[in-house]
C-alpha cells in the first residue's frame, strides 16, 4: 500500500470510530465529552495536521485537504446530533407536561377602600350636596381645644364623658372627639357664616367591647350664621338620615347634655329594620342612636370668635362606624380596626 493510501485508510478509520461513538451520545454532558475527544486540540483528526511535515512535499496538499474533510464531517455530525438531542428533550417535555388552556386565569388580588373610609366618603358626599365643606383638623390636640374652649374646664365632672389618651407632653392629648375642630374652624372663619363637616379619627382610653373601641371615626357638623335655629338642625339631620338609610326613616332628637351645646340632644333614627316596632337590632326600643347634637353654646361661640348676641349655630357629632354597623348589621365595632381580611373583604 502506498504511503498515501495508508494515511487515507487511517483517516477513514478515525472518522468511522468518531461517528460510531457519536451514535451512543445521549445527553449534553456526553456530547461535550465527545466533542473534546474527537474535535479537541489533541483529537486524532487534529494530529493529522501536525503530522503533515512527515509526508513528502507533493503529497501534503491532498493529505491536508483530506484531513480537513474529516474534520468538517465530524463537525457537521456533531451539530446534527446536538440538534437531535435538543429536539428530543423538548419532545419529552412536551409529552410529560401539559397545559390545560381551558383553565381559568389566576385572579390578582385587588385591594379596596376600608369600610370606614367608604362610609366617611358617603357621609361627606351627602353633606357636601347640602353645602357643607370638609374641614381637616388634627388628631393630636391641645387640652385647650379638646376641652377648655368647648366649655369643659379641668376638673369639671363632664370630663368623665371622655376617657383620654394623654401624650408625654403636658396639655397635649389625642382628641377624644372631633369637636375641637369646631374651635379651629370658627377661629379661621369668624366673623363669616360657616358650614363645615369635620371627619376623622378620634381616640378614647376605653375598655374595648362590642360597642366600644379605643379608636373610631367621627363626623362633626357645624353651621354658624345669623338666623340658624334648632329647626335647621333637625331638618339637616332628617335629610341626612333619609339619604343614608332610606326615604321613610324618621329622626328623633332626644334631650341630653353636652357642655358645648345648649340645648343638647341625642340623635336617634327610627329602626329601619323593624320600622320602629322593636327588634333585636334596636333591642326592642324601635330607635337607634347615631350621634349627639345641639345648638352651639354661647361660651363656645365666643371662644370661636363669634358674638353670641348676633350669631347662633348648630353642631352635631356622628359616629360613622356606628352608622356602618347599623347599615350593614355588623355586630362588633372591633372588626373595623382588627385588620381581619375576612371582614374587610366583604365591603
Question: Which residues form the interface with ligand DAH (CB under 6 A)?
Answer: 177, 179, 220, 258, 261, 264, 292-294, 315-317
User: Which CB atom, from 200 or from 292, has the smaller least distance to ligand DAH?
Assistant: 292
* HSE of 181, CA atoms in CB hemisphere, 13 A: 32
Q: Are 264 and 257 in contact (CB under 8 A)?
A: yes
15 or 303, CB closer to ligand DAH? 303
State the minimum distance, in angstroms, from the CB of residue 264 to ligand DAH: 6
Q: Would you say 15 or 146 has its CB closer to ligand DAH? A: 146
Which has the closest alpha carbon to 120: 266, 332, 343, 319? 319
CA distance 179 to 12: 103
Taking each helix axis from N to C end, the angle separating 44-51 and 3-23, rounded to the nearest 10 degrees, works out to 160
* In the complex, least distance from residue 258 CB atom to ligand DAH, rounded to whole angstroms: 4
- Specify which residues 254 forms β-bridges with: 266
CB of 306 to ligand DAH, least distance (A): 15
Which CB atom, from 22 or from 253, has the smaller least distance to ligand DAH?
253
Nearest to 308 by CA among 298, 318, 317, 316: 298
CB of 328 to ligand DAH, least distance (A): 22
Ramachandran angles phi, psi of 293, nearest 5°:
-160, 180
Angle between helices 320-328 and 230-245 (to 10 degrees): 40
CB of 278 to ligand DAH, least distance (A): 26
* In contact, 263 and 296? CB cutoff 8 Å: no
Smaller CB separation from ligand DAH, 77 or 292 = 292
Residue 248 Cβ vs ligand DAH, minimum distance, rounded to whole Å = 26
Burial bucket for residue 192 (CB in 10 Å: 0-12, 13-18, 19+): exposed
> Three-state SS for 262?
strand
Q: Which is nearer to ligand DAH, 25 or 221 (CB)?
A: 221
Q: Minimum Å distance from CB 317 to ligand DAH? A: 3
The nearer residue to ligand DAH, 7 or 150, going by C-beta atoms, is 150
Amino acid at each position: 500500500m502506498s504511503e498515501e493510501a495508508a494515511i487515507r485508510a487511517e483517516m477513514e478509520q478515525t472518522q468511522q470510530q468518531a461517528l460510531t461513538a457519536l451514535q451512543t451520545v445521549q445527553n449534553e454532558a456526553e456530547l461535550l465529552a465527545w466533542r473534546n475527544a474527537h474535535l479537541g486540540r489533541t483529537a486524532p483528526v487534529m494530529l493529522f495536521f501536525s503530522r503533515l511535515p512527515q509526508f513528502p512535499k507533493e503529497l501534503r496538499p491532498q493529505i491536508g485537504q483530506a484531513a480537513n474533510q474529516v474534520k468538517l464531517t465530524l463537525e457537521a455530525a456533531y451539530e446534527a446530533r446536538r440538534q437531535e438531542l435538543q429536539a428530543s428533550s423538548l419532545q419529552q417535555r412536551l409529552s410529560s407536561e401539559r397545559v390545560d388552556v381551558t383553565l381559568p386565569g389566576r385572579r390578582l388580588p385587588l385591594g379596596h377602600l376600608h369600610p370606614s373610609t367608604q362610609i366617611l366618603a358617603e357621609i361627606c358626599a351627602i353633606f357636601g350636596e347640602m353645602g357643607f365643606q370638609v374641614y381637616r383638623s388634627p388628631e393630636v390636640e391641645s387640652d385647650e381645644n379638646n376641652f377648655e374652649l368647648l366649655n369643659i374646664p379641668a376638673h369639671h365632672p363632664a370630663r368623665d364623658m371622655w376617657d383620654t389618651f394623654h401624650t408625654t407632653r403636658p396639655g397635649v392629648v389625642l382628641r377624644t372627639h372631633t369637636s375641637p375642630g369646631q374651635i379651629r374652624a370658627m377661629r379661621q372663619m369668624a366673623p363669616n357664616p360657616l358650614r363645615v363637616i369635620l371627619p376623622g379619627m378620634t381616640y378614647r382610653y376605653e375598655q374595648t367591647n362590642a360597642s366600644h373601641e379605643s379608636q373610631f371615626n367621627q363626623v362633626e357638623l357645624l353651621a354658624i350664621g345669623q338666623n340658624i335655629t334648632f329647626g335647621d338642625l333637625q331638618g339637616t339631620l332628617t335629610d341626612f338620615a333619609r339619604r343614608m338609610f332610606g326615604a321613610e326613616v324618621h329622626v328623633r332628637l332626644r334631650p341630653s347634655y353636652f357642655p358645648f351645646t345648649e340645648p343638647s340632644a341625642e340623635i336617634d333614627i327610627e329602626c329601619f329594620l323593624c320600622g320602629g316596632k322593636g327588634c333585636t337590632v334596636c333591642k326592642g326600643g324601635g330607635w337607634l342612636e347615631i350621634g349627639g347634637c345641639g345648638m352651639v353654646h354661647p361660651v363656645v361661640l365666643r371662644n370661636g370668635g363669634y358674638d353670641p348676641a348676633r350669631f347662633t349655630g348648630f353642631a352635631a357629632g356622628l359616629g360613622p362606624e356606628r352608622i356602618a354597623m347599623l347599615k350593614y348589621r355588623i355586630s362588633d365595632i372591633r372588626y373595623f380596626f382588627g385588620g381581619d381580611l375576612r371582614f374587610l373583604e366583604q365591603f
